[in-house]
Amino acid sequence: MNTHDTRPGSTGGADTPGPLHGGPDEDYTPEQLAAMSLDELDRLGARYDGVEIMHVEPGPEPGSPLEKRAVRQIGTVFTLAGLCAFASVVIYAGSGWFLPTWQWSVSESGWSAIFTPLVGALFGAAMILVGVGLVLYTKKLLPHETAVQDKHDASAFDRATAGATLVRTAHNSGLARRKLITRSLAFMGGGLGLMLIMPLGGLIKNPNTGDPLGTTPWKQGVRLTRLDGSPIRPGDQEPGSLETVFPAVPGGNRAANAATMLIRLRPEQVAANRPRPGQGNLGYGDYVAYSKICTHAGCPVSLYEQETSRILCPCHQSQFDVTQGAKPVFGPASRPLPQLPITVDASGYFVARSDYLEAVGPTYWNRRRI
Amino acid sequence: MSTTNPQSDPPLPDSGSALGTPVARALARRRSKLRRRWANVAGLLVALVLTGAAYSMFAPAQAAGSSNTESSAEAAGRALYEKTCISCHGANLDGVPRRGPSLIGVGEASVYFQVHTGRMPLARQEAEAQRKPPVFTDTQIDQLMAYVQAHGGGPTLPSGDLRDGDLAQGGELFRLNCASCHNFVGEGGALSSGKYAPNLKNATDLDIYTAMLTGPENMPVFGDNQLTPNEKRAVINYVQTIKAQADPGGAGIGRIGPVSEGLVIWVVGIGVMLFGIFWMGSKA
Amino acid sequence: MARTATAPGAPTTKLGTTAAELDDRLVISGWLRRTMNKVYPDHWSFLLGEIALYSFIVLLLSGTYLTLFFDASMREVAYAGSYAPLRGVEMSAAYDSALRLSFDVRGGLFMRQLHHWAALLFVSSIVVHLLRIFFTGAFRRPRETNWTIGVVMLVLALLMGVTGYSLPDDLLSGTGLRIISAILLSIPVVGTWVHFAIFNGPYVGESIIGRFYIAHVLLIPAILLALIALHLIILVKQKHTQFPGPGRTEHNVVGNRLFPTFAAKATGLVFLVFGVSAALGGLVQINPIWLWGPYNPAQVSSASQPDWYIGFLDGSTRLFPAWDMNLPGNYTIPALFWPTVVIAGAMFTVLALYPVIERKLTGDTASHHLLQRPRDVPVRTALGAMALTFYTVLWISGGNDVIALKFDISLNAMTWVGRIGMIVLPPIAYVIAYRICLGLQQHDREVLEHGIETGVIRRLPNGEFIEVHQPLGPVDEHGHGELAYGGAPVPKKMNQIGGARRAIRGFFSPTENPAQVELEQRAEDRGLAAAEGDRELTSSGRPSEGGRPSDGGRPQEPRD
């Protein structure tokens, strides 16, 4: 004992055994435990946890040919795993150093094209081999024991005692009697709850302000342009052709609802053309322009079959007939593709006569109201 | 050559009858519907051999007499046309209702595409003409082209390097105009009622160029004012580049994305894992 | 520490001392022993859920790597990386960074593909795990909570997938995003509001990739992690189910202790899962976004499909007829609403509530810890087969354009096959599965009553030929077996009851010397020689008769 030990609270400490806390420590003294073999201790602990070891099939005899073979096999597997891992590292680090570069370019089909497969295959092989080695070890070298563990039902004692503690506290709190507190608590809870989710209000935007779903950048006099912004003359397309056109406004060729199909019909199609009622004069000569955005789920339609006049949507296979006002003739779409009224301006280029007459794109709840 | 009228007869003895090989016709008639396909192929082969033989006999003669209003190539083309195409496309290239369209003004580019990819002569009338080994030799195709071009003109074959275009621009144009039917990587795609946009795997530069120019079958036409020759070359450059490029991430599994990936994870991924855990569970 | 150093049983090695020191401070050995002694059933199908768990770990690791390079921004940039066919093309920063990650980061492509394959494996193994739980009745009381948590996790896994594959902002995922937008818009009354809240305005806006990103890397994984923890805690608390068999009761678990056998196998499985994902990630190209190109709302490709686990939704959308409902007041319920929100919602609701539904239908409210063989519950098995058939028809229809193209079938015909198939095939599957279950049940009973067919034909004195049956247990005066069916597999071949030579052990190749085994068997009076005598087997191997409780759920030879 030195001087430090005389300070209050520093003598002995918890190293001096306190009263035993019951359970196995009372049944087995350290001396008894020390006298037991490892196996006995293991089984003792297991039994204490409700586990009975029923049956042990020992591993192979030490030194037996069976063991030697298994050891050799498992050793080989782990060695191979190491080899694969190192090889993977060498390829990863060595490419571009003493191996050809790993950076792939389009014309390459040599080393850089197999860099990823090589790294991945070796990486994967190393991992798989480690797993295989571990399982082999368990299966071939460890003893196989069969254990049975008891399953306990819920304890009535625990339930009664824990329940009593809860109920007793509830009684003591008197909340059942003190109505003012419970009511104010409910009021407070409601307020607090609302306050906590209140910031989510920042996400809310009114979809009806300015009708963004019902309007597109198209309006009167806006030119029809190609992807690169060049305008289009009536003579530019052959009969039986389709061109995707965009409004000549900034960002028009990226606008989500503006893409339009400008279709020049073949003479037979012109003869067979039956536009939607009231929309007979939206085209220009043998040209018609329909929205490219499917009325079903919004994919760009445009798988145009110029002989059968059908436009197919690749997402859900709705089919529209351009000679019938782009009416859906098959599949899940229920509305025709909206038609863009077009004409030719003074310089001889295609322009829109107005925005679409109805909302383009997928149907929604109040589409017909705005 | 092509089928008989679909109303009167099943489209069967087409190739054989056009060439007048009674053996092929007799054989074919006896066969079931399934077997007729083989008959057609056989007929085509016979046609190929016979036309080749006929041509080899005619060729020297044609070289001799060559200064009419109709050039010798056109004459040879007319001869070929009247042997093999006339039954569907009519006597003066003006088409036969319900069998084949008029060829006046379609141009040599169209002839090149249809005949060089083996789509014409048709094996049978169906939703989509199949790509096949060409029936005619290159010289014969030239003669047919000359014959058709002489009647009404039309799009002509381009010259020069057909891949002389900007790769990235070609990609943008391909995704905007072509990918919707032919898929991101030219795998092709299904169209309505059994029609399809073909795979571009075997398409040559000139095939792609003439297809854009002429809009074969259901494909829309991409005239030179819509997609300039330079832009067409850019598209071709892009298509041929991505077709030829390696798959840096391993096996391409058809490059069709989620469908084949789903197949791989269920067959290979889950398969290997099930095998693994079954092996773990089994006793040594 | 002077006391422990001299106490009996005190550690003598350095490692031991350290462990003792640790335990002094943390009092951990009791918990550690309980954990190590926990018994896990030894059957392969109990590892299915672990595959899902371990692929989630792989996903966390590889995903964290990917975040180091990914830029979840929709800012427009011109690509200047090393992939020539896209150089100079305008694209979002997200797509640009995904391309750079693939081509300009050493090993980046491998990590991306590893992550994507692990994701597919994650969802697939969840589904297989779910099927095992369903068909064996492991969801019954007291495990309904864990079943429901599992279904919620499956839905979250699908959301993880969708938000994940949308991130690169390529043309394929952008098309998917467009459809998601349309699905949100299709919800009656609040659809447009929900859409504007999620997309921060009309489609496509500039926020969605960033929002999906935070959902994908933080929000959903955090919820998933919490639910996984809960799933496992409940599992440990309730202990495992097990298949019926020798020594197995409702009140015990027979198997291996966690340490060392189960821990070693589980660790092995971690490596296998990681290895398979990595091998696929290296060897099989997945989602080659450079071939798809950047997203542009005006562009699309044929054969645009979602990843497989969303395929059923794509399929239902393709099959559903064009039935817009026009309501008075010019309101519309779009046709798209039914196959996406309603069908998917109904499917997952029924799935989540199935334990309750079955309890109501059967009136079985007891706790069950022993599993059922699917054949013993023909109605549930048939219902499962029916649901699976329905799902499969939708799933296949999700790829019907690819099938139409590759097998030269009309696309319209494929749609009609799907439309008719989704109605006609499930009931057929129900009837077939039900009949198969009854047939298998009957065969089990037959073997128990009459014994195993030995293949030995005898001629009776009256000239009649009969096949000799080997009874499995004691027989009554009519020669009929008296064993009752116990819910466990019934041996149906002579070698399963030791009536033939014992199979030589070894999974890939024999690990025993056949001659040695032969000798051993002769010594034990088993095998053919023994079977030829008129010995009668008298035991079924049931626990009461001393069978071995270690057969891992597969048929084993009972002792005789």
pLDDT digits (tens, 9 = 90+) for C523-548: 665 544 444 444 444 333 333 333 33
Q: How confident is the model at residue C150 (pLDDT cuts 50, 70, 90)?
A: very high
Model pLDDT, residue C520: 73
- Top residue of B177, B219, B264, B273 to mutate, by most chain C CBs within 10 Å, is B273
Question: Is A183 found in the same domain as A266?
Answer: no
Taking all residues of chain C, what is their mean pLDDT, rounded to a whole number?
Answer: 87
Q: Which domain, by its residues, includes A286?
A: 224-352
Euclidean distance between CA atoms C203 and A205, whole angstroms: 13
| ipTM of this complex | 0.91
Question: Is A67 found in the same domain as A10?
Answer: yes
Burial class (CB in 10 A: 0-12, 13-18, 19+), A297: buried
Q: How confident is the model at residue C229 (pLDDT cuts 50, 70, 90)?
A: very high
CA of B41, closest CA in chain A: separation in Å?
A: 27
Question: Is C426 found in the same domain as C462?
Answer: no
Q: How confident is the model at residue C481 (pLDDT cuts 50, 70, 90)?
A: confident
Residue A153: its chain C contacts at CB < 8 A?
A: 251, 367
Is residue C516, in this structure, part of any structural domain at all? yes
Q: How confident is the model at residue C451 (pLDDT cuts 50, 70, 90)?
A: confident
Q: How confident is the model at residue A152 (pLDDT cuts 50, 70, 90)?
A: confident
DSSP line for C89-138? -EEEHHHHHHHHHHHTSTTHHHHHHHHHHHHHHHHHHHHHHHHHHHHHTT
Question: Which residue, among B45, B213, B218, B12, has the nearest Cα to B128 in the 3D structure?
Answer: B218
Question: Is A50 found in the same domain as A124?
Answer: yes
Sheet holding C252-257, edge to edge: A51-57, A144-150, C252-257, C39-40
Is residue C426, in this structure, part of any structural domain at all? yes
Question: Is A163 found in the same domain as A274?
Answer: no
Burial class (CB in 10 A: 0-12, 13-18, 19+), B138: exposed
In the predicted structure, residue B116 carries a pLDDT above the cut 60: yes
Question: Is A195 found in the same domain as A230?
Answer: no
Query: Six-digit token pair at C58?
Result: 């792989």
3-state SS, residue A104: coil
What are the boundaries of each domain within chain B? 72-152, 167-247
Mean pLDDT calculated for residue range C185-206: 92
Is residue C554, in this structure, part of any structural domain at all? no
Q: Which long-range contacts (CB under 8 A, 24 or more apart) does A112-115 make?
A: A112/B248, A113/B246, A113/B247, A113/B248, A115/A91, A115/B248
Question: Is C53 found in the same domain as C14?
Answer: no
Sequence-ordered list of residues with C-beta below 8 angstroms from that of C380, at least 6 positions apart, any chain: C134, C135, C137, C358, C374
Question: Is A232 found in the same domain as A124?
Answer: no
Nearest C-alpha in B relative to A263: B220
In the predicted structure, residue C388 carries a pLDDT above the cut 80: yes
Is residue C220, in this structure, part of any structural domain at all? yes
Question: Is A336 found in the same domain as A307?
Answer: yes
Question: Is C137 found in the same domain as C208?
Answer: yes
Euclidean distance between CA atoms C398 and C311, whole angstroms: 5
**Which range scores top for mean pLDDT: B43-47, C53-57, C409-413?**
C53-57
Question: Is A100 found in the same domain as A36?
Answer: yes
Model pLDDT, residue A84: 97
In the predicted structure, residue C426 carries a pLDDT above the cut 90: yes
Model pLDDT, residue A17: 59
Of B181, B189, B192, the CB nearest to A330: B192
In the predicted structure, residue C424 carries a pLDDT above the cut 80: yes
When divided into structural domains, chain A yields a total of: 2
Question: Is C141 found in the same domain as C64?
Answer: yes
B167-247: CATH topology is: Cytochrome Bc1 Complex; Chain D, domain 2 (1.10.760)
In the predicted structure, residue B237 carries a pLDDT above the cut 60: yes
Is residue A141, in this structure, part of any structural domain at all? yes
Euclidean distance between CA atoms A132 and C272, whole angstroms: 7
* DSSP H or E run through C166: helix C144-166
Exposure letters B96-110 (e unless 16+ CB within 10 A, then b): beebbeebbebbbbb
pLDDT digits (tens, 9 = 90+) for A20-30: 556 777 788 88
Rounded to two decimals, the pTM is 0.87
Question: Is C271 found in the same domain as C408?
Answer: no
Q: How confident is the model at residue A19 (pLDDT cuts 50, 70, 90)?
A: low
In the predicted structure, residue C216 carries a pLDDT above the cut 80: yes
**Which range scores top for mean pLDDT: B89-93, B187-191, C190-194, C404-408?**
C190-194
Euclidean distance between CA atoms C164 and C213, whole angstroms: 7
Model pLDDT, residue B39: 53
Query: Six-digit token pair at B61?
Result: 């003669």
Mean pLDDT calculated for residue range A154-180: 91
| CATH architecture assignment, domain B72-152 | Orthogonal Bundle (1.10)
Interface check B223 vs A, CB under 8 A: yes
CA of A167, closest CA in chain C: separation in Å?
A: 25
Tally: H helices and E strands in chain C:
21, 8
**Cβ–Cβ below 8 Å for B217 and A239:** no
Question: Is A183 found in the same domain as A253?
Answer: no
C neighbour chains, 3+ CB pairs within 8 Å: A, B
Q: What percent of chain C has pLDDT over 90?
A: 63
Q: Which long-range contacts (CB under 8 A, 24 or more apart) does A228-236 make?
A: A229/A253, A231/A349, A231/A350, A232/A262, A232/A349, A232/A350, A233/A344, A233/A348, A233/A349, A233/A350, A233/B225, A234/A284, A234/A285, A234/A287, A234/A344, A234/A348, A234/A350, A235/B225, A236/B223, A236/B225, A236/B226
Secondary structure letter of residue B224 according to DSSP: T
When divided into structural domains, chain C yields a total of: 4
CA of A346, closest CA in chain C: separation in Å?
A: 28
3-state SS, residue C184: helix
3-state SS, residue C284: strand
Question: Which residue, among A284, A281, A285, A279, has the nearest Cα to A338 in the 3D structure?
Answer: A279
With the C-alpha atoms ordered A189, A191, A196, A200, is the resulting torsion angle positive or negative?
positive
* Beta bridge partners of residue A344, listed in sequence order: A350
Of B191, B251, B269, the CB nearest to C120: B269
Residue C7 backbone dihedrals phi, psi, to 5 degrees: -65, 150
Q: Which domain, by its residues, includes C534?
A: 453-545
Ranking B21-30, B95-104, B174-183, C161-170 by mean pLDDT, the lowest is B21-30
End-to-end Cα spacing for chain A: 92
Sequence-ordered list of residues with C-beta below 8 angstroms from that of C490, at least 6 positions apart, any chain: C444, C447, C448, C472, C555
Residue A243: its chain B contacts at CB < 8 A?
A: 226
Question: Is A196 found in the same domain as A249?
Answer: no
Nearest C-alpha in A relative to B213: A238
Question: Is C322 found in the same domain as C233?
Answer: yes
Identify the CATH number of the domain in which residue C269 sits: 1.20.810.10
Identify the CATH number of the domain in which residue A239 sits: 2.102.10.10
- Contact in structure between A273 and A265 (CB atoms under 8 Å): yes
What ranges make up the beta strands (E) of chain A? Answer: 51-57, 144-150, 224-225, 241-247, 260-264, 287-291, 303-305, 310-312, 319-321, 327-330, 342-344, 350-352
**Cβ–Cβ below 8 Å for C411 and B192:** yes
Ranking A172-186, B133-147, C180-194, C302-316 by mean pLDDT, the lowest is B133-147
pLDDT digits (tens, 9 = 90+) for C286-330: 999 999 999 999 999 988 899 999 999 999 999 999 888 888 888
**Cβ–Cβ below 8 Å for A307 and B248:** no
Burial class (CB in 10 A: 0-12, 13-18, 19+), B133: exposed
pLDDT digits (tens, 9 = 90+) for C325-353: 888 888 999 999 999 999 999 999 999 99
Q: How confident is the model at residue B13 (pLDDT cuts 50, 70, 90)?
A: very low
Distances (CA, A) of B275 to A140, C275, C502, C508: 18, 14, 23, 12
Question: Is C496 found in the same domain as C423?
Answer: no
Mean pLDDT calculated for residue range A93-120: 92
Mean pLDDT calculated for residue range B164-186: 91
Model pLDDT, residue C103: 94
Question: Is C233 found in the same domain as C163?
Answer: yes
Mean pLDDT calculated for residue range A131-142: 92
| Residue whose tokens read 């954990």 | C35
Model pLDDT, residue A296: 92
Is residue C159, in this structure, part of any structural domain at all? yes
Q: How confident is the model at residue A14 (pLDDT cuts 50, 70, 90)?
A: low
Residue C283: its chain B contacts at CB < 8 A?
A: 250-251
pLDDT digits (tens, 9 = 90+) for C370-380: 999 999 999 99
Question: Is A171 found in the same domain as A287?
Answer: no
Query: Six-digit token pair at C132?
Result: 């095992």
Residue A330: its chain B contacts at CB < 8 A?
A: 192
Residue C299: its chain A contacts at CB < 8 A?
A: 300
In the predicted structure, residue C203 carries a pLDDT above the cut 50: yes
Is residue C256, in this structure, part of any structural domain at all? no
Euclidean distance between CA atoms A286 and A266, whole angstroms: 8
Whether B72-152 shares its CATH topology with B167-247 is answered yes
Question: Is C10 found in the same domain as C100?
Answer: no
Question: Is C193 found in the same domain as C330?
Answer: yes
Tally the residues of chain A. 370
B neighbour chains, 3+ CB pairs within 8 Å: A, C
In the predicted structure, residue B23 carries a pLDDT above the cut 60: no
Question: Is C431 found in the same domain as C308?
Answer: no
Euclidean distance between CA atoms A286 and A272, whole angstroms: 12
- Contact in structure between B210 and B220 (CB atoms under 8 Å): no
Question: Is C52 found in the same domain as C33?
Answer: no
Sequence-ordered list of residues with C-beta below 8 angstroms from that of A73, at least 6 positions apart, any chain: A136, A140
CA of A180, closest CA in chain C: separation in Å?
A: 36
pLDDT digits (tens, 9 = 90+) for B99-115: 788 888 788 888 888 88
Model pLDDT, residue B14: 41
What ranges make up the beta strands (E) of C410-542? Answer: 452-459, 465-470
Mean pLDDT calculated for residue range C449-470: 86
Residue B268: its chain C contacts at CB < 8 A?
A: 280, 284
Mean pLDDT calculated for residue range B164-179: 92
Question: Is A132 found in the same domain as A65?
Answer: yes
